[in-house]
Amino acid sequence: MRLACETLRFFPAVLYAIGLFLRLERLIPVRPFYTYVANVMDWRIFERRHFLMKTSYKADSLLKSFAKTALCVGLFCAAFSPAKAHFQLVYTPEVNLTAAGDVPLKLLFWHPFENGHVMDMAEPEALYAINRGKRIDLKDSLKAIQFTGQSNQGKAYEAVLPVKRSGDYVLVAVPVPYLEASEDLYIQQITKSYVNLRGVPTDWSETQGLKTEIRPLTKPYNVLAGASFTGQVLSEGKPVAGAEIEIEFMAAEPSMTDNKPLDATASPMPGGTVVLLSDDNGMFTFGIPKAGFWGFAALGTGPDKSYDGKELSQDAVLWLRAYDVKKR
């Protein structure tokens, strides 16, 4: 569970720090204290291997106890940071088209809500579009770029979508798994986004046979702000009950000419990443409060659980576009 690097990730550090201080007074052993609190609180954060849980606290000398206490306090300070959600983007600013032509795309792995850290993205395993049930391969159009976020630069890609026939174009990106060193695991976000030509609906509600995906039950390229969006989380075509779904607003949209973000139009909400769970049939519904691009990431719902000897979080991502109702 990737909340280990979200708002709740500092709790294990706090627990270990308290336990270590108590141990110095010989009041209670560290590990039983940690286990007791984890069981009582039943936080789902303890389900994923946390870096603090790998550390041995069987120190026999007072000096070692002091050293480990200092380490734990330092980790607590480092962990106390705002929530940041990883999101794979397949982005173009205009998704409702009135004329055929070549549509520019940006692919980047980023924190778009807070214009945060840009992760280096490897060339994707697959990039294609589906129009009227036919696949259009886009890998030959890929071009590596450097995208400049608020705090760093990261490797990203440009591509071109040839739009010819009316209807929906379901964009699919299957990235190479990304090693998130702070969590000691790989992340692979299999991503879908949508473009439409001339308002003709053709493919938007269809599944694409991906290892994991979110099937939209609301047309995803013209959602009304203030209305709701409903989707279904699937793994190998089967519903995923209790899937954890992170929700992200693209507050800073990428510039298509400068390879950097435009000015942010919103700030992240207090309390960390917005999260909901799917029901027994893999279904979820979210009210869309604001016009713009909204992303949904179902975490770890894919069948693949390991990559290159490490844990893999194989996620399903879907992006939608919402609009305000404008006066005539």
Q: What is the pLDDT of residues 193-245, one digit of tens each?
A: 999 999 999 999 999 999 999 999 999 999 999 999 999 999 999 999 999 99
CA of residue 110 relative to chain centroid, distance: 9
pTM over 0.75: yes
Q: 10-14, 118-122, 146-150, 288-292: lowest mean pLDDT where? A: 10-14
pLDDT at 48 over 80: no
d(CA 245, CA 234): 12
Which residue has tokens 């039943």?
A: 42
Predicted local distance difference test score (pLDDT) of residue 53: 37
Neighbours of 187 (CB within 10 A): 24
Crossing angle of helices 30-41 and 11-24, rounded to 10°: 140
pLDDT at 51 over 50: no
Segment 73-95 mean pLDDT: 65
Residue predicted with more confidence, 239 or 34: 239
Contact between residue 170 and residue 202 where contact means Cβ atoms under 8 Å apart: no
**What does the chain come to in residues?**
328
d(CA 152, CA 154): 7
Contact between residue 267 and residue 251 where contact means Cβ atoms under 8 Å apart: yes
Predicted local distance difference test score (pLDDT) of residue 1: 53
pLDDT at 260 over 70: yes
pLDDT bracket for residue 70 (50, 70, 90): very low
